């Protein structure tokens, strides 16, 4: 048994420990932070390679067998999430260090961020419900700190909403976990499907709904989403980026896990309704906003709807589409927030009603870095969002889920509308306080390539002023393009992952597997 | 920094209590291997001792701490992680525990368990985290109303043991609050 999985959690925790001990030495902290997360990325890749070869790997921590010890399990879905998650965490960490902001100077940033990394890794590798709950707590605790890192009034206000809603979520989850244990006598995800099937239908349904409620709160589905657009925008941009890209997706991951493996296809109608409403309400909320960060935050909600939709449609094809969509969504969403961070750094605002106008003129490349993921989000071919949406829509048609599919298509259009709103408010137009006389060719939308050279002349190199931030943003955007470019192999991997989810696990640890070795832990 | 008013009863009983608490904490930590207890509980008990010291001596209890709380947290986490990873280097698994039985002359057989190191790490971490929180509150209080911080907590207790110099302190507290923080946040709000 290879220790890669356990090390995915231990390495960031160890990094957090060392960087805490180096309290006050920022440079050393940063070096350790970057090194630890980079190592975690490498470990995650090792897990992915091994999982794709072996199918599913598990490790009993400390050699304690299943009913006593903690089991880490990685299947294809968790390995994929692990890799994309750690890559995003790495990118955002480097970006944040490149940002000369307050959070980067805080001695807390690196240690807390590393704990967050450990929590995310643990969530994806958790082999039982309780461990999943614990990892949610680990990542939530650190996210509380990150949300309120600057400690200004706005953050504290938003932080209170965030903390309260998440404490409620944790309580519900703990309650659900306790009830599941009371009803079935196990929390092992591999063991549960069999035991849950023996329960009376009503009990199983109750457990299912309670788990869905808890995870739905975390994933911000309708009608449990209103905390998200309220709290995320208040956090520093790199923090929002990783929250937007990852944390809600951990909730989605948990929903996928429970709805495919524990309660396969039981709540299809409910999920369908939730998916449709999440998409519509999210996108309408986005259109009504006039701040780039808030628009993007509402879009997190809207896009979650697509993932739930795939889950509601059910079947291997739809689940594969969902997994692909999550994979596309994480870097796309992250990169949009990273671009927003640069805009905010440059102009001091992220409002779409002036202030930040004319970014395309100041920096064409930056506009391009926004445009690509924005179009991808709306599902314009040939970007990754298009592939994901086509797959979702196809599986919807194949299963005669006409209404929700039609809603999904309509919401795509509205997504485009709100992206255009950001584009016209932030990137297009003239730089405020500077007349258009500086160049004659008033920015035509088709000419970003040429436009950037025109726009760069007056205010030299927005991107060059923030080299690290720009490089990271560029890298993440390149990753979204790579997902589109390699859509074939990536999609086939997603299909393998979906097929694996369709088959109940059950291999890890048979009933009452073995007795305790040695003595009590 | 001296507090204007010390409660002799509290100081005396804390002087007696703290060593006992530390001893209990050590016992609880090490019995945790086979019985209820462990590093977390032990750490909390030591932290409670530190808080008692603070109640008796005021902020100087925190200033006098030999180690920075965050260093403790870091060291504790380092130790726990090291113990978790160490088995990998001898061919075991992460978090695997080893048990050695030693023959110590005059004592008899002593069982040494490697996972006790993990517990010790948790112990340090908890002590560090709780005292760190305390120190942060003290700092915040110091910023708002220097000198009278400790008494603000105590004054939620019986109010009739005020010595004449206590009145002086009270007056200063009231003054400080009215001039610096009219909204009555900070120490005042606790009463």
Interior angle at CA A401, CA A396 and CA A406, nearest 5: 80
**B80–chain A Cβ distance below 8 A for any pair:** yes
The pLDDT value given to residue B56: 85
Dist. CA A515–CA A152, nearest whole Å: 53
Looking at chain A, which residue has its C-alpha nearest residue B88? A3
Burial tier of A338 (Cβ tally within 10 Å: 0-12, 13-18, 19+): buried
In a domain, A410, yes or no: yes
Scanning the structure block, which residue is given the tokens 């509380």? A144
**A461–chain B Cβ distance below 8 A for any pair:** no
SS3 content of chain B, % helix, strand, coil (to 5): 65, 5, 30
Looking at chain A, which residue has its C-alpha nearest residue B84? A10
Dist. CA B13–CA B34, nearest whole Å: 32
A4-21 and B69-89 helices cross at what angle (nearest 10)? 150
The pLDDT value given to residue A432: 64
In a domain, A208, yes or no: no
Non-local (6+) Cβ contacts of B128 within 8 A are: B69, B70, B71, B72, B73, B74, B75, B76
Q: What is the mean pLDDT of chain A?
A: 83
Q: Across residues A223-247, what is the average pLDDT?
A: 85
Tell me if A332 sits within 8 A of A481, measured CB to CB.
Answer: no
Contact flag A23-B93 (C-beta cutoff 8 Å): no
For chain B, residues with pLDDT lower than 70 are 1-6, 142-191
Cross-strand pairs, A168: none
In a domain, A250, yes or no: no
- Lowest pLDDT segment from A124-133, A237-246, A428-437, B61-70: A428-437
Cross-strand pairs, A72: A59, A126
**A22–chain B Cβ distance below 8 A for any pair:** yes
The pLDDT value given to residue A513: 34
Q: What is the dihedral angle through the alpha carbons of A83, A84, A85, A89, rounded to the nearest 10 degrees? A: 100
Tell me the nearest-neighbour CA distance from A399 into chain B, angstroms.
Answer: 45
A238: its two tokens: 């790199």
Query: Which has more pLDDT, A357 or A416?
Result: A416
Report the domain count for chain A. 1
Q: Residues A175-204: pLDDT tens digits? A: 999 999 999 988 888 888 888 888 898 999
**B92–chain A Cβ distance below 8 A for any pair:** yes
Query: Looking at beta carbons, which residues of chain A come within 8 Å of B73?
Result: 20
Q: Across residues A85-107, what is the average pLDDT?
A: 81
Q: Residues B139-180: pLDDT tens digits? A: 777 666 544 444 444 444 444 444 444 444 443 443 433 333
**B88–chain A Cβ distance below 8 A for any pair:** yes
- Residue B167's Cβ-side half-sphere holds a number of Cα atoms within 13 Å equal to 3
A30: its two tokens: 């940063």
Of A21-30, A479-488, B102-111, give the range with the top mean pLDDT. A479-488
Confidence of residue A457 (pLDDT cuts 50, 70, 90): very low
Confidence of residue A79 (pLDDT cuts 50, 70, 90): very high
Residue A246 has pLDDT above 70, yes or no: yes
Residue A327 has pLDDT above 60, yes or no: yes
Residue A65 has pLDDT above 80, yes or no: no
Cross-strand pairs, A59: A72
Non-local (6+) Cβ contacts of A88 within 8 A are: A242, A245, A246, A330, A331, A334, A476
Query: Which has more pLDDT, A133 or A437?
Result: A133
Dist. CA B123–CA B139, nearest whole Å: 24
The pLDDT value given to residue A512: 33
Non-local (6+) Cβ contacts of A118 within 8 A are: A9, A10, A12, A13, A16, A138
In a domain, A3, yes or no: no
Query: Looking at beta carbons, which residues of chain B come within 8 Å of A1?
Result: 93
The pLDDT value given to residue A354: 64
Q: Residues A40-63: pLDDT tens digits? A: 999 999 999 999 888 888 888 777
In a domain, A37, yes or no: no
Q: Across residues A245-252, what is the average pLDDT?
A: 89
The pLDDT value given to residue A353: 72
In a domain, A408, yes or no: yes
**B110–chain A Cβ distance below 8 A for any pair:** no
Residue A352 has pLDDT above 80, yes or no: no
With pLDDT > 90 as the criterion, what percentage of chain A qualifies? 39
Tell me if A297 sits within 8 A of A225, measured CB to CB.
Answer: no
Q: Across residues A265-271, what is the average pLDDT?
A: 84
Dist. CA B59–CA B149, nearest whole Å: 7
The pLDDT value given to residue B108: 80
The pLDDT value given to residue A279: 92
Helix ranges (DSSP H) in A185-267: 192-197, 201-219, 228-231, 237-242, 248-257
The pLDDT value given to residue A101: 59
In a domain, A463, yes or no: yes
- Residues spanned by the domain of A301: 267-433+447-501
A1: helix, strand or coil = coil
Contact flag A13-B93 (C-beta cutoff 8 Å): no
- Lowest pLDDT segment from A413-417, A432-436, B69-73, B117-121: A432-436
Dist. CA A111–CA A117, nearest whole Å: 10
Residue A338 has pLDDT above 60, yes or no: yes
Tell me if A107 sits within 8 A of A24, measured CB to CB.
Answer: yes
In a domain, A49, yes or no: no
| H or E element at residue B112 | strand B108-113
Confidence of residue A517 (pLDDT cuts 50, 70, 90): very low
Q: Across residues A84-109, what is the average pLDDT?
A: 82
A193: its two tokens: 């499907």
């Amino acid at each position: 048994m290879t220790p890669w999985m356990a090390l995915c959690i231990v390495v960031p925790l160890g990094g957090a420990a060392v960087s805490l001990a180096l309290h006050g030495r920022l440079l050393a902290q940063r070096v350790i932070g970057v090194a630890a997360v980079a190592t975690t990325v490498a470990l995650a890749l090792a897990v992915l390679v091994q999982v794709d070869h072996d199918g599913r790997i598990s490790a009993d921590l400390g050699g304690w067998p299943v009913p006593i010890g903690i089991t880490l399990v990685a299947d294809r879905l968790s390995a994929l999430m692990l890799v994309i998650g750690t890559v995003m965490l790495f990118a955002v960490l480097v970006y944040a260090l490149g940002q000369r902001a307050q959070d980067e100077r805080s001695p807390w940033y690196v240690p807390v961020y590393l704990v967050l990394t450990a929590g995310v890794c643990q969530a994806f590798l958790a082999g039982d419900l309780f461990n999943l709950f614990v990892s949610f707590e680990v990542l939530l605790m650190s996210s509380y700190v990150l949300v309120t890192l600057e400690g200004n009034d706005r953050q504290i206000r938003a932080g209170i909403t965030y903390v309260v809603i998440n404490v409620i979520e944790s309580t519900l989850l703990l309650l659900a976990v306790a009830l599941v244990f009371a009803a079935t006598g196990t929390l092992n995800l591999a063991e549960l499907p069999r035991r849950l099937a023996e329960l009376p239908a009503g009990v199983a349904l109750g457990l299912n709904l309670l788990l869905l409620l808890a995870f739905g709160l975390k994933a911000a589905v309708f009608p449990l989403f209103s905390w998200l657009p309220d709290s995320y925008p208040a956090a520093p941009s790199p923090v929002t980026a990783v929250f937007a890209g990852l944390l809600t997706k951990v909730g989605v991951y948990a929903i996928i896990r429970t709805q495919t493996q524990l309660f396969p296809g039981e709540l299809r109608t409910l999920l369908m309704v939730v998916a449709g409403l999440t998409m519509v309400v999210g996108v309408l909320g986005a259109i009504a906003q006039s701040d780039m960060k808030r628009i993007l935050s509402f879009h997190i909600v809207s896009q979650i709807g697509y993932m739930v939709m795939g889950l509601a449609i059910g079947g291997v094809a739809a689940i594969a589409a969902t997994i692909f969509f999550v994979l596309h969504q994480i870097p796309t969403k992250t990169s949009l927030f990273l671009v927003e961070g640069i805009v905010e750094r440059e102009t001091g605002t992220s409002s779409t009603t002036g202030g930040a106008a004319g970014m395309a003129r100041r920096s064409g490349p930056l506009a391009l870095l926004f445009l690509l993921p924005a179009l991808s989000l709306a599902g314009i071919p040939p970007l990754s969002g298009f592939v994901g949406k086509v797959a979702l829509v196809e599986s919807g048609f194949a299963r005669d889920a006409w209404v929700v599919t039609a809603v999904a298509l309509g919401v795509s259009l509205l997504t485009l509308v709100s992206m255009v709103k950001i584009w016209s408010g932030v990137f297009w137009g003239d730089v405020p306080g500077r007349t258009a006389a500086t160049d004659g060719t008033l920015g035509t939308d088709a000419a970003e390539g040429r436009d950037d050279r025109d726009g760069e002349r007056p205010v030299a190199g927005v991107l060059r002023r923030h080299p690290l931030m720009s490089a990271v943003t560029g890298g993440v955007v390149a990753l979204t393009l790579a997902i589109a470019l390699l859509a074939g192999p990536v999609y086939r991997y997603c299909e393998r992952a979906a097929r694996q989810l369709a088959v109940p696990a059950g291999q890890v640890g048979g009933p009452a597997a073995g007795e305790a070795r040695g003595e009590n832990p | 920094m001296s507090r204007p008013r010390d409660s002799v009863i509290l100081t005396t009983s804390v002087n007696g209590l703290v060593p006992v608490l530390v001893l209990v904490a050590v016992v609880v930590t090490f019995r945790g291997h086979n019985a209820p207890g462990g590093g977390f509980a032990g750490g909390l008990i030591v932290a409670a001792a530190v808080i008692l010291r603070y109640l008796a001596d005021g902020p100087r209890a925190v200033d006098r701490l030999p180690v920075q709380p965050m260093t403790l947290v870091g060291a504790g986490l380092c130790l726990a992680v090291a113990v978790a990873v160490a088995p990998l280097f001898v061919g075991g698994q992460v978090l695997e525990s080893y048990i050695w039985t030693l023959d110590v002359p005059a004592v008899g057989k002593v069982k040494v368990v490697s996972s006790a190191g993990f517990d010790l790490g948790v112990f340090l971490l908890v002590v560090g985290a709780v005292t760190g929180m305390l120190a942060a509150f003290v700092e915040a209080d110091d910023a708002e109303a220097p000198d009278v911080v400790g008494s603000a907590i105590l004054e939620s207790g019986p109010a009739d043991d005020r010595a004449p110099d206590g009145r002086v302190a009270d007056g200063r507290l009231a003054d400080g609050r009215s001039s610096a923080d009219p909204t009555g946040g900070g120490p005042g709000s606790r009463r």
